[in-house]
Structure 1
């Protein structure tokens, strides 16, 4: 499917113009009535319906963008396979030089823990030069001659690894154990740090450069940095390239999401937010299968990056956001995209002159509705960024909603990644746990669509947090049964996966075009604090008190459910374009200017 067709160069004759009045495609037979109706559209979203909302173009556009969720899961959720940790023990150079076998070195030099496992960071305090000269059997018989300190052990600067299961991993190549173990944890946290940084800047860069350009640059940079990771000479270079990869992956993800939200109808946004997570879930299910087959981390990393090569086609297929073009007064380009959409959806539009007139009137109207919203922050980048950030907190209503969403985002990321990384704590096989963790997300996505379509966003979000809390807190009462802990943990992931879809949807639907990408970006940045901290809660706090992580996950989910009650229902609302419309989402007040309903009059001749 091509989104730019040469046949669209000619103007559509006005006398052949047909228009669909709403999402059900009711046809207006009279061209004159159709033009009047086009002039009467009061928002871009309503005007977009002229080009059709449920045709072939939208199907191809949504599929093109959301299929990228599958390889995105590869990059975010695979660190425990790229950095798998096999058995390890101290490297004793003198004994290696003397051609002792691995088993001889382990038996002679490596102590064992109480549970019988090797003490990988220590070796016995022997004179290994003398032991090597004596030989294995003689050294065993004359321990008193080679012992420096009786029952003494010392740390070692280098380790040997058991390569039976894995030929190479990040851990084996960069020695990420013992005193360097913190660097292994950093290979995971640097992904979230990169996503945090991207979330902070995405609103600004897309406003400056447009969504299409940011998506194209992001994917090309992602592919390059992903390949360079396999060539890293040390772990520091790997972390740098991993950070860059994460920044650009998150830039593309948030920008794609807001672009889809802007070009789709309210009904489409419901099922997109539900089913859009399925490619990610499939990606999570494929990770263990791929990792089980490929046991060298460099090849595994290349396999994970390779699917992103399909994004090269975006250069020809991906359109710019018409909303952004209109805000930048690039009307001709916006009209061209609308004509492309109409062509593939088999809808007929008015002639170019009429389209330009209507598009400009929409732009004028939207600028007028911003009369009290602080337009003109200045031309400097810093003032522009501060001005956009201020838009999220312009009133008490917007501030309260933003803070509630921030908390819900934090909880969702904290619990989602906490549950995803808890397999070791509950004694589950990491391959099967990752597979079933992805599997439960698919029915979560499928069941979410009828819920948010018929029940609404608000009640669905409350219900998902309540179910998550009940499942996780219920796991505290099953004793030491790893089976029931696994079942209840996966039930919690089933619920929190739905919450992830919902927080994205609600954040996009309660903000204006100018602040929509910024709002999703800042919300996602707040969520990164949750995803960064969840591994430490599992590993550090979990070692102190095994019940503490689950208790934290459950309590935060309960609090989020209560706070979600204050959010508006956006099920039947169109995307707002002004502060007045944001504050009245879910009410019976219709779209108008910045003035109060009693003072509002038509802002242009196209309003009826």
Structure 2
């Protein structure tokens, strides 16, 4: 059983307009949520403020409050002094003209809304990741992606014009949910539309527009100091996606796994026509797809006489499919840890700008610029050293650099910022590798679920990042660097349990993954050689394992 004839057919189709459309549409989509993911630094910044005491209250002892005060003192009738909570504040608007912090008075006993605003986006992603992943595996990448983009456009445009903090927070949570189909499903769709020889560079370029948009968003923030207009303008580029959605095609990998060979044939024929290349006859292509690609096992729904408890057990078993077999379990556990730590560190360094003595607009722009070399250099690195070694090296380097921040004297802020930017560049390299690595490790049968669940863990980490920087970092400036630096070092050590996937075609089924040794399987062979070798060596073993997996799925 060869699980990769779709890759073989894609390789026969020269790279051209079809691949450009698929990649361009999905890459533009993956960049647009950057503005909302990083919005917290401009929408709910930490602003200086003073308590505004009532001038009509003759009991006020001192109306000139110091910065950050939440109370003022009054003199009571019995000549004693009492602290009274502030209800109004004057904010320093020298940097921002209007923010959600000053507009909704997110200070003192309402200050937790600032961290909540930043975290709710990630919590929305966390909640949606497994559900959206399942839906994309069940109903298709394109359908879920298109619906996600449509909802994202609407929510993004109205997000800046909601009247109160509860409405803003609810909308932000919903935008976080839409992040999953717009970013992650688009990435899977783009990757599965590329032949294996260009998949590494495509995997990097798919996220390159995100890097560019971070710099653009910092420019928007500098020019537009009103948070409502800022979020509106930052959401407008999402309208550019609409034309591409009409021409976008479904993933041929997914169509074959679902047994929809005729539809896969039409997609491949369109790609061949657009790219001015040729394919074998329709009958031959269908025969190749049917004979070499094993569709995902289908489980009957509510068999006759099946009790509700059996149905529930079967559904619960399906939820744990990523941990059912040894190699798939190793992939899932290690990637979950990596995604958690990498995103926690990535966003943690971003949100730490408020703890440094540096202009926030310059800091965000520099963060975007530091990602440019990491995105450009990663392809030759991956081509030369594979996936595993660069991932471990970038994680260990990130940890070492961030731990160095703790040794820098407080009066050397420029050196702290330099180490933080260097750490951000290294963790960006790790982020680029892990998404590509994860999409190659998981088989097509559960790829979207696998990557989405790993992505869910990344959102747990990114949801914690604002609280680490806003509370822990505000009181102990060195603490975030220890948490982030120590975490990535642990993730780097755990990554040693994985195997390299360079020069390997994508596995389509769990059975194929478990039936061959990934550490020695077909490394360096061409797709044709790989097809011939696996078809000779693995059919009986893979078929037997497929049967065992289906038996385990039965209640």
Equivalence for 1:80: 41
Equivalent position SS for 2:50: strand
- What is the rounded CA distance, in whole Å, between the counterparts of 1:47 and 1:361 in structure 2? 14
Cα shift readout 1:277-303 (whole Å, capped 9, x = no counterpart)? 321111111222211111211111101
1:313 paired with 2:243, answer yes
Check 1:519–1:287 CA distance in 2 against 1; reply closer, same or farther (3 A cut): same
Check 1:459–1:159 CA distance in 2 against 1; reply closer, same or farther (3 A cut): same
1:530 paired with 2:497, answer no
- What is the rounded CA distance, in whole Å, between the counterparts of 2:91 and 2:195 in structure 1? 55
Equivalent position SS for 2:84: strand
In 2, are the aligned partners of 1:89 and 1:120 still within 8 Å (CA)?
yes
Equivalence for 1:143: none
TM-score, normalised relative to structure 1: 0.80
Cα shift readout 1:472-511 (whole Å, capped 9, x = no counterpart)? 1222222221111111111111110011111111111111
Equivalence for 2:442: 511
1:246 paired with 2:176, answer yes
1:299 paired with 2:299, answer no
In 1, are the aligned partners of 2:443 and 2:513 still within 8 Å (CA)?
yes
Please state how far the C-alpha of 1:393 moved relative to its aligned partner.
1.5
2:204 to 247, 266, 274: 274
Equivalence for 2:299: 376
In 2, are the aligned partners of 1:581 and 1:591 still within 8 Å (CA)?
no
Equivalence for 2:320: 390
Q: Which runs of 5+ in 2 are unaligned?
A: 303-307, 523-532, 546-555
Q: Name the count of aligned residue pairs.
A: 523
Q: Which runs of 5+ in 1 are unaligned?
A: 1-38, 99-105, 113-117, 128-145, 601-608
In 1, are the aligned partners of 2:29 and 2:186 still within 8 Å (CA)?
no
Check 1:433–1:89 CA distance in 2 against 1; reply closer, same or farther (3 A cut): same
Cα shift readout 1:31-80 (whole Å, capped 9, x = no counterpart)? xxxxxxxx99962221332333x223212321221123432211101212
Equivalent position SS for 2:384: helix
TM-score, normalised relative to structure 2: 0.87
Please state how far the C-alpha of 1:465 moved relative to its aligned partner.
0.7
1:484 paired with 2:407, answer no
Q: Which has the higher contact order (CA 8 A, sep 6+)?
A: 2
Equivalent position SS for 1:267: coil
- What is the rounded CA distance, in whole Å, between the counterparts of 1:382 and 1:271 in structure 2? 42
Equivalence for 1:334: 264
In 2, are the aligned partners of 1:85 and 1:169 still within 8 Å (CA)?
no
Please state how far the C-alpha of 1:220 moved relative to its aligned partner.
1.1
2:334 to 404, 409, 415: 404
- What is the rounded CA distance, in whole Å, between the counterparts of 2:257 and 2:387 in structure 1? 29
Check 1:228–1:462 CA distance in 2 against 1; reply closer, same or farther (3 A cut): same
1:588 paired with 2:521, answer yes
* Residues 339-378 of structure 1 aligned to structure 2 (within 5 Å): 339-362=269-292, 365-367=293-295, 376=299, 378=301
Please state how far the C-alpha of 1:599 moved relative to its aligned partner.
9.4
- What is the rounded CA distance, in whole Å, between the counterparts of 1:383 and 1:46 in structure 2? 38
Please state how far the C-alpha of 1:331 moved relative to its aligned partner.
2.8
- What is the rounded CA distance, in whole Å, between the counterparts of 1:550 and 1:70 in structure 2? 27
Check 1:41–1:423 CA distance in 2 against 1; reply closer, same or farther (3 A cut): closer
- What is the rounded CA distance, in whole Å, between the counterparts of 1:41 and 1:408 in structure 2? 27
In 1, are the aligned partners of 2:61 and 2:73 still within 8 Å (CA)?
no
Equivalence for 2:217: 287
- What is the rounded CA distance, in whole Å, between the counterparts of 1:58 and 1:107 in structure 2? 72
Q: Whose Rg is larger?
A: 1
Equivalent position SS for 2:276: coil
- What is the rounded CA distance, in whole Å, between the counterparts of 1:469 and 1:533 in structure 2? 18
Equivalence for 2:24: 63
Equivalence for 2:403: 473
Check 1:165–1:561 CA distance in 2 against 1; reply closer, same or farther (3 A cut): closer
Cα shift readout 1:173-201 (whole Å, capped 9, x = no counterpart)? 21111111111111100011011112121
- What is the rounded CA distance, in whole Å, between the counterparts of 1:383 and 1:273 in structure 2? 37
Equivalence for 1:51: 13
Cα shift readout 1:322-353 (whole Å, capped 9, x = no counterpart)? 22223333333221111110012111123333
